Structure 1
Amino acid sequence: MGNGNKNTKAAITLAALNIAGHGNLNVNHQDNKWHHVWQVMREQKIGVLVVREAHLNDERKDSIQNLFGRVIRIEFSQDPLTANAKGVAFVLNKNLVDTEDVNTTEIVPGRAMLLEMKNVDGKPLSILGVYAPNVPAENAVFWKLIQTWFEIHPLVRKPDGMGGDTNVVEDALDRLPAHPDANSAVTALDELKMYLRLVDGWRDTYPTTRAYSYLQLHTGSQSRIDRWYIKRPLLEHALEWEITTVGIKTNHKMVSVKLTTEHAPTVGHGRWVWPLWLVEDKTLAKQIHERGMVLQAEMGLVSNWRTRNPDYNEQTLWAKFKADIHRDAKKRSKKIIPKIITEIIEVENRLRDVLDEKGISEEDRTLSGAVLTERLAKLQQQRYNVSRMNAQVKNRLDGKIISRYWSQINKEKKPREMIHRLRKNMPEGVPPQYEKDSKRMASMARDHHDNLQSERKDIAPEVREEKIRIVVDRVKRKLTPQQIQTLKEKLTIEDVRNALKLSSNFKAPGLDGILYELWKTLDARCTTATAQEKPAFDIIKIMHRVYNDIEKNGIVIGTKFSESWMCPLYKKNDKADIANYRPISLLNTDYKVFTKALTIKL
């Protein structure tokens, strides 16, 4: 269903970052950079990260994989002379990409490596990771070596993208202060780009913008030597070209791009889920209490009416209340921004203004740009350190005991399953045809399950009734008159309270995004307010009134009380056959409390 934002194609985020070495050799030490590498990938949803100056060997890779092996896969090429210099690596995020069918080829040891994997549509994707030499003559030779390698290996798939550290720029605009680079290196890179049909996507998207990815600390000069090049035919499917400061100690910024394909499935933003931390927010709690008191008064009013209004009753009031607090929660979640995030945004905006300002000298631009870039890097490092410290505290408290947290961190990670195509229902003898449009595939899935409910409706009513009677007659155990009377009685307040208490926390909510934890918190606040003789919003009584109205009058159309979000999970056999998916329906928590209360009574 989504949150109203525009749906987008499924995409893989490719990023490249020079981490300037691994930091402390002890992978558990606070100065080891691989904790931050994973943090960057997790926060920014990076599928593949090209790491330069990785400084890896087999022993160091194994120690990292032992710690992060559940969530990342590392492939690397080390410098032939030493592991303490150069080195290029691919880091694949197991949460987002398929890491099973992956192949890597070393082209220039410690400098260039080719990764072959599957794209979001299941088709091949080839990525070239590079870390070019800094010396112009060596830089020129490096690009020629890569071109020669592909020329003598014509059967190897040429890269769809090339990411990394070029250590050369083709345009003086990409240096601050502006100046041209050595012609030999520029020419060699241009010839490789032409041979591989690669385009500088960032510059193609922002032809006149000044932005830089590398700061030379002792001079303050900057350059855009960190790049992503994409095959020209794929350029229309590449989006969100970014140059980002990350919280890792390095004088390089991270460059990234989202890559999709023509036939990639369309992916919505999903439903908005109430964050658990927002349940305890005092400002939002006050808003909910105020709306709850109004709701309480309105329900008291409609319950005294002799004639029930089908458009203004307990159910419609409840639906409006839920919609209102849902909207309040979304607004509040956007306002609660940590102070450091606000400061980072302000510095980013100031840096952008300085680099694009017209009436400023190159000297002033260089100095101001260097100061702001350094400030931005320190702020991001601060933020990352706080985040990592919180994670370490959580791990020390809950990581060694059997708990929900322990289960989550030890769970095998797999990318989200995408349905790329579904086979259409065709007459017998007609070759199979496939639907690839996401909306039409969703309609096919809906129709399939609707039809399952209406199968064999051609049976005569009298035959159906007779079959039902035969089955019922075989049931020897009967309800007593007292039990029949109990089932006729409406749910009580205690029934509702017990049902809510028996509902487990940390369960996935339905389309309204509201957690059991919210209803439980509101009930606890009501108990506290009542004990203190303060005005109390009694959520249990409100839900009880709604449920009783449903028992008496049925569900009001349009209130979305019983709506569900169906998620098809693949079982086995042909993935293009919708019958091979098991549907899981996510229901709203207030609906599940209602059905649980009825079940308990049964």
Structure 2
Amino acid sequence: RKKRTRAHLTVGSLNMRGYGEARSDQASEKWLCINQVVRDGKIAILALQETHLTNERIDNLNQLFDATLLIHGSCDLNNPTGARGVAFAINKRLINVDEISFREEEPGRALEMNMKWTNGQTLKILNVYAPNDMTENCAFWSRRTYSYGTPAGRKLDIVMGDFNVVTDPIDRLPPHRDLLAAQESVEDFMRKVDLVDGWRERNPSKRQYTYMQQATGSQSRIDRIYVRRTLMSKANNWNMDGPGFRTDHRMVTVGLSNTSTPYQGKGRWALPSTLLTDKIFLKQMRELGMSMQAELDNQGERSEMANPQRTYASFKQKLVDAARKRARCCIPQLDRQIEAIKTDIDRACNGTGATQDRIDSLAILQERLTELEARRFGAKRRAVAANDWAMGETICKYWTRLN
């Protein structure tokens, strides 16, 4: 059956810091992790930078992930396995890949993707990996302005990637301005293509960073997503998260909803499936059920306030309350630790203490957060591997989804 593109899409960007180690012609462990990141996060489109891909590596990856991912990359012409490289990882579970086309804007630096969305709409996305050198960075954005910033230029909906420059001192720690010419070049390009920094639009004064320099502890928000101004009303859930494997960048994501589609509500609350095997909750459920049965047995003459319907409604409400309370207790300790550290990082980023103290504190917290996220990600990978070992060769629902 032909796969339909979803009306709600999550798009993201991540500097993956190289291809990763691989044995002979096999895919690297890092790409196996990326496949899991896309699946677990339900990410429809992931723009990747510093991929170090060759055409042979891309073919091998597409063969390995044929059922789940479409990977299209642009390689550096001089040193494809050791420098630059950009790529798109497209989630085949969420997007009809037959309606996608790509165009190489600049080898190893910029890759354009065009796709059909729902209700006749289209999306044009540019994945960029701008140079570190500020003079080259300035020239890079001037070339993009020449391609896209004229009335006859190709109109863009999203630009995302590693910009290697910030346009506001608040996006660096310690705060400072980048080369003015590079800053103005980015701003001029975004103004001419009518794109805005969505996260900054939603968080005008907040500090949060996507890259930390290990040697100095300084941080910056150089990984960003710009969207067309008219798309801002459809954009939500702007996030910066650790991918779960070792890289010096955090992943930035945003959800896009096609508002031309019929309204779809939040849905109804459902009992978490993990509680169905939780002994403590099952005991509470049994006690509530027996209490209801006793109340029904002892009910006298039916009245407006005493009848089986009201008794059953009361039982259901008590059961829901007990389930919600128990679910909060069942949240893994690792998740609680991660959320606590994120709160501490947010407090430190937006605090008023001495700059050097904040840099040192944030570096420690960021390292700890990365370590915990890697542990959680590793636990998920082990659970997936165990599930595959147990049911991968058995004719069941899991097997049919794979095949």
Q: Secondary structure at the match of 2:93?
A: coil
What is the one-letter code of the residue matched to 1:270? G
Q: Per-residue displacement from partner, 1:456-477 (whole Å, max 9, x unpaired)?
A: xxxxxxxxxxxxxxxxxxxxxx
1:354 corresponds, among 348, 353, 358, to 348
* Unaligned stretches of 5+ residues in structure 1: 1-8, 411-602
Separation (CA, whole Å) in 2 of partners of 1:313 and 1:354: 56
Q: Secondary structure at the match of 2:79?
A: coil
Separation (CA, whole Å) in 2 of partners of 1:30 and 1:247: 18
Q: Secondary structure at the match of 2:268?
A: coil
- Structure 2 equivalent of residue 142 of structure 1: 140
Aligned ranges 1:170-569 → 2 under 5 Å: 170-302=167-299, 312-314=306-308, 316-358=310-352, 360-410=353-403
- Structure 2 equivalent of residue 104 of structure 1: 102
Q: Per-residue displacement from partner, 1:78-115 (whole Å, max 9, x unpaired)?
A: 11123322111111222333322111111011110111
Q: 1:61 to 1:350 in 2, by over 3 A?
A: same
Q: 1:154 to 1:374 in 2, by over 3 A?
A: same
Does the 8 Å CA contact 1:169/1:186 hold for their aligned counterparts? yes
Q: 1:403 to 1:38 in 2, by over 3 A?
A: same
Does the 8 Å CA contact 2:197/2:226 hold for their aligned counterparts? yes
Q: 1:216 to 1:65 in 2, by over 3 A?
A: same
Structure 1, 137-146 or 271-280: larger mean CA deviation: 271-280
Cα deviation for residue 47 of structure 1 reads 1.7
The percent identity for this pair of structures is 37
Q: Secondary structure at the match of 1:267?
A: coil
Aligned ranges 1:87-166 → 2 under 5 Å: 87-150=85-148, 154=152, 156=154, 158-166=155-163
What is the one-letter code of the residue matched to 1:350? D
Does the 8 Å CA contact 1:77/1:113 hold for their aligned counterparts? yes
Separation (CA, whole Å) in 1 of partners of 2:7 and 2:322: 30
Q: What's the RMSD between the two structures over aligned residues?
A: 2.4
Q: Secondary structure at the match of 2:98?
A: coil
Q: 1:391 to 1:153 in 2, by over 3 A?
A: farther
Separation (CA, whole Å) in 2 of partners of 1:95 and 1:385: 23
Does the 8 Å CA contact 2:158/2:227 hold for their aligned counterparts? yes
What is the one-letter code of the residue matched to 1:67? L
Corresponding position: 1:32 with 2:29: yes
Equivalent pairs counted in the alignment come to 397
What is the one-letter code of the residue matched to 1:184? A
Separation (CA, whole Å) in 2 of partners of 1:399 and 1:150: 48
Separation (CA, whole Å) in 2 of partners of 1:68 and 1:269: 32
* Unaligned stretches of 5+ residues in structure 2: 1-5
Does the 8 Å CA contact 1:108/1:146 hold for their aligned counterparts? no
Q: Per-residue displacement from partner, 1:128-185 (whole Å, max 9, x unpaired)?
A: 11000101111111111222223689363x1111000000111111111111111221
Does the 8 Å CA contact 2:149/2:189 hold for their aligned counterparts? no
Q: 1:287 to 1:293 in 2, by over 3 A?
A: same
Does the 8 Å CA contact 1:52/1:87 hold for their aligned counterparts? yes
State the structure with more CA Rg: 1
- Structure 2 equivalent of residue 517 of structure 1: none
Return the TM-score normalized by structure 1: 0.62
Q: 1:121 to 1:344 in 2, by over 3 A?
A: farther
Separation (CA, whole Å) in 2 of partners of 1:148 and 1:378: 43
Separation (CA, whole Å) in 1 of partners of 2:395 and 2:66: 20
What is the one-letter code of the residue matched to 1:139? N
- Structure 2 equivalent of residue 19 of structure 1: 16
Q: Per-residue displacement from partner, 1:296-333 (whole Å, max 9, x unpaired)?
A: 2123224xx5x655874455544543443244324322
Q: Secondary structure at the match of 2:97?
A: coil
Does the 8 Å CA contact 1:12/1:46 hold for their aligned counterparts? yes
What is the one-letter code of the residue matched to 1:94? K
Separation (CA, whole Å) in 2 of partners of 1:320 and 1:58: 63
Cα deviation for residue 120 of structure 1 reads 4.4
Cα deviation for residue 221 of structure 1 reads 0.8
Q: 1:27 to 1:378 in 2, by over 3 A?
A: farther
Q: 1:222 to 1:151 in 2, by over 3 A?
A: closer
What is the one-letter code of the residue matched to 2:337? E
What is the one-letter code of the residue matched to 1:95? R
Q: 1:62 to 1:335 in 2, by over 3 A?
A: farther
Q: 1:269 to 1:227 in 2, by over 3 A?
A: same
